[in-house]
Chains A and B, each alone.
Chain A
Amino acid sequence: MPPALLEKLRATVGPANVLTGIELTPYVVEGRTPEAAVFPGSVEEVAAVIGLAAETARPVTPWGGGTAASAGIPTARTGLVLGLRRLGRLLEHEPGDLTATVEAGMTVETFQTALRSRGQWMSLDPADAHLATVGGVLATNASGPRRHLYGTARDLLIGVTVVTADGAVVRGGGKVVKNVAGYDLPKLFVGSYGTLGVIVEATVKLRPLPDHERLVCIRFERLKDAGAAVRSVMASDLIPNAIELLDATASTAISVTGAALVVGFDGLREQVDWQCAELARLAGACGGHEAQPLQADTWSSLGTAARATSPVTAAVMTFAVLPSQVAEMMEQGAGVARARGLNTAWAAHAGIGVVRAMVAADVVPTEPAAIAVVLAEWREMARGGGGHATLEWAPLAVKSLVPVWDDPGAAARIMERIKAQLDPQNILNPGRFVAGI
């Protein structure tokens, strides 16, 4: 990096907030070391840093808690890591409005703790909440089991402030829960992986904390029967906040033996009680064993259950399919891998059709090519049913054989045009996202 640029960055954010050389170790992704990691302390400083990067067309990689740093293809050109950790303030929380505005660098856990102290929460429960930042969770569209009832970031984010590739500070949406003025920019930035702008502030809808919440597990001899139970629950009057399906491997992560259906309920105590009883009845009719309550801390293990079951992971793939296809996808997918000598673990947000599969690297020396074959077959299975697949985690050697992102079809052209309009120099996370964006 030109020394003059380094000087300007230091002058902008303070010398202590620019890391270089050996200090960059935590920011190395797939062996690629950035030129510097810069930690601005205000929205204006973020804008100034991006402005400086834009002057020399340097790539900028936004960095929250680093929990999704390996998602996508790492940027080929080296550039700046833009760390948001110093933007960590809760700017506004008015309980009567059920909204809060927060800086992007606050961790989800810190945010939730502040909200909980006033009887509310952001109804989003991504994994690694103690590390993941609000901005990172929005940019990667991370979610957890409770999305079954409460939806994802797109349903909660009502206002967003971003710094665009030209260093402009732009606001989209607003601070009110209902708003159709102008285009829905919050939707544009959710899940855009930092390729269109750097999220610096967010306003989200909140919910009151429920009086009670309970997580119940029902074991099944066969995954297929658990799948039938999911359909039965969905067709019933129950209003679960989570419906998780775990195969016999993934269920070990929550200390359960065999295929497991895990269902969450919240509300008044009498509502939770009634629903648990009704669930037991419905599941029993499908061959489920007795319902057991799970500890509250099991919630945080559910989202990562598939991955947690093997000490060494070769790949994690996420599928979006129809809810009715989930159990079959899990069984057939595991079969495909087993036929090639690979062990897998499967877990799903079964009620909405999001399935996660982990390929373990603990049995045979896993050749990238062998793994790639299985992943490609899985993707074809999902696509065959009208769904799609994302390679959530894998070493670069595997990613070079299997595209990380699925093919968005004709919509790719529109995505490319949006990218070209918003980031004409292609400096924000270049090459990391869908369709080479």
Chain B
Amino acid sequence: MSTLTASGKGEIRRVLEAIVGPGGVLSDPDELMVYESDGLTLFRALADFVVFPTSAEHVSAIVKVANRENLPFVARGAGTGLSGGCLPTEGGIVISLMRMNRVLEVDYDNQIAVVEPGLVNLHLSWKVGPRGYYYAPDPSSQQACTIGGNIANNSGGPHTLKYGVTTNHVLGLEVVMPDGEIVWLGGKTREACGYDLAGVFVGSEGTFGIATKVAVRILKKPQAVKTVLAAFDEIDRASAAVSAIIARGLVPAAIEMIDHLTIQAVEDAFNCGYPRDADAVLLIELDGLAVGLEAQAERIVAACREAGAREIHTAKNEAERQLLWKGRKSAFGAYGRVSPAYMVMDGVIPRTKLPYVLRRVNEIVAAAGLRVGNVFHAGDGNLHPNLLYDPRKPGDEARVVAAGAEIMKVCAEVGGSISGEHGIGLEKSDFMPFIFSAADLSLMHRLKNAFNPTGLCNPGKIFPTKKSCVEVGPVAYRPHAIEEKGLAQRF
């Protein structure tokens, strides 16, 4: 929290209330605490205000107040982020977009929707679903996360293997710039007019401004879908199957891997039909034309058999398919069955390096005296090792953080990246030098200066810096206020 005086704070609160109305500003520390973390509860920082605008003009006015008062500000969606990207590291104003959640326009002829940033990802597919359309990027948190948050992090999901990530689906955005000006970057038509600012904005983790309207592509739902579960006795064989599928000239909609420990957790929780004794399963989905889908599935099955799959099962109907996916999409929650807490890692490697890197991950985790569950986008090489630990055990959390850094180093060493979809945020800013040189970071910094010259817009993120003075970094576990009040629980 910044060092505003009580009277200064009261005055700013009145100014903010004049913009958004009396029900749109929080400044009581108890209420602010709800917004001190995102999905990565390792980091906490308290804002001075949380404000709930309902229009771009509101956002612009709030940003102008922040500039006038020299207060940092940061946009926040559903708070499902996993890198601390929306934390008010230096206090100031959290601008919640949750009241800007409308679908403004759907143009089915041109397959475009214009939405507000607080719209929940899945709600867009619900809206256009009855007409046979959907919004393709499908992060696992899609029931809660917002389109605006997806833009900040350039979110992916299981089906990005075939359909690409958020940036491939955003045509244009209305943005409140860090100085309060409202600007359209891109538009509804293709071809940027000048630099591809919409492309640069997506994935900038809230440091280039705040999106207030978003024009996205909506896609026709595929005519047919086929989901295959292949079980392996050795995880290396499952990894080899991923490369074998690609080598056969197939790009399925999704190839997900779920390892032994995760299978146990998921089966305990949901009983979704994964063979408990398998070392790993691959969940493979094909979609597209009904014609030829069977032939493609046969190729997949053949590739898996050749790689040594023990058993292969195809979902017979939509209910079975949903059950297979439930295991994948709910795996994170299911870890609660096997561990009091876990921390999800996010790294990317070249697909062909999967066997080597998974072995290294296991070594690192074992050396740290921890356990790991892997459930991830194998087709993209996007790893999610989940390090299981007990936050009440002294030193566990620190070991998790140290092991996480080691895993990121391995990803970097094999030519990969330190984040595939969760972002850098606070968590990984000090890892950036693993993959970027000083010259690379300098260029990024200059780009940031072009959008955000004062640095007030979401400070302290992405770039390696001295840690901020607020409570961030590995800390001993303490229950969050909303846990104490029984409003939420860790799982």
Contacts and interface: CB of A to CB of B under 8 A. Distances in A.
Given A97-B350, A191-B195, A180 B183 contact: no
B154 A95 contact: no
B350 to A, nearest CB: 4
Nearest to B223: A237
B423 A180 contact: yes
Interface stretch (B18-26, B394-402, B435-443): B435-443
B189 A387 contact: yes
Scoring A174, A211, A321 by chain B CB atoms within 10 A of each residue's CB, the highest score goes to A174
Contact of B417 (A98, A181, A187, A352): A181
B351 interface: yes
Interface in A73-109: 94-99
Contacts of A180: 153-154, 165, 203, 417, 419-424
Contact of A274 (B156, B200, B289, B352): B289
Contact of A415 (B153, B195, B441): B195
Contacts of A22: none
Interface string B369-388: 00000000100111000000
A188 interface: yes
B195 A95 contact: no
B381 A176 contact: yes
A179 B420 contact: yes
A169 interface: yes
Contacts of A437: 194
Nearest to A318: B191
A409 B184 contact: yes
Interface stretch (A59-67, A263-271, A292-300, A305-313): A263-271
Contacts of A412: 194
Contact of A354 (B191, B377, B422): B191
A353 B215 CA distance: 15
B449 A421 contact: yes
Contact of B381 (A119, A155, A178, A235): A178
A170 interface: yes
Interface string B431-468: 01001110111111011111101000000001000000
Interface in B173-193: 177, 181-185, 187-193
Given A176-B350, A179-B417, A192-B195, A274 B291 contact: yes
Nearest to B377: A178
Interface in A370-405: 386-388, 390, 405
A239 interface: yes
B146 interface: no
B308 interface: no
Interface residues on A, range: 35 or more
A237 B436 contact: no
Interface stretch (B64-72, B247-255, B264-272, B360-368): B247-255
Contacts of B189: 320-322, 353, 386-388
Contacts of B351: 96-98
A415 B289 contact: no
Contact of A183 (B165, B168, B204, B248): B204
Interface in B407-428: 415-424, 428
A188 B164 CA distance: 18
A198 interface: no
Contact of A96 (B111, B247, B250, B428): B247
B331 interface: no
Nearest to B240: A96
Contact of B420 (A119, A176, A188): A176
A234 B415 CA distance: 39
B125 interface: no
Contacts of B319: none
B348 interface: yes
A38 interface: no
B349 interface: yes
Contact of A267 (B184, B292, B444): B292
Given A155-B168, A172-B443, A176-B417, A353 B450 contact: no
A270 B450 contact: no
Contacts of B107: 322
B295 interface: yes
Contacts of B428: 181
A408 B194 contact: yes
B202 interface: yes
A414 interface: yes
Nearest to B423: A180
B168 A188 contact: no
A188 B194 contact: no
Interface in A416-437: 417-418, 420-422, 433-435, 437
A181 B450 contact: no
A237 B439 contact: no
Contacts of A362: none
Interface of B: 107-112, 153-154, 156, 160, 164-165, 167-168, 177, 181-185, 187-197, 199-200, 202-204, 220, 223, 243, 246-251, 288-289, 291-292, 295-296, 348-352, 377, 380-382, 415-424, 428, 432, 435-437, 439-444, 446-451, 453, 462
7 contacts: A171-B437, A174-B415, A181-B417, A181-B428, A274-B292, A414-B185, A421-B450
Interface of A: 94-99, 119, 141, 151-152, 154-155, 164, 168-172, 174-185, 187-188, 190-192, 196, 207-211, 231, 234-235, 237, 239, 267-268, 270-271, 274-275, 318, 320-324, 352-354, 386-388, 390, 405-415, 417-418, 420-422, 433-435, 437
Nearest 9 A/B pairs, CB to CB: A187-B199, A208-B249, A434-B194, A417-B450, A320-B191, A421-B446, A320-B189, A271-B292, A96-B352
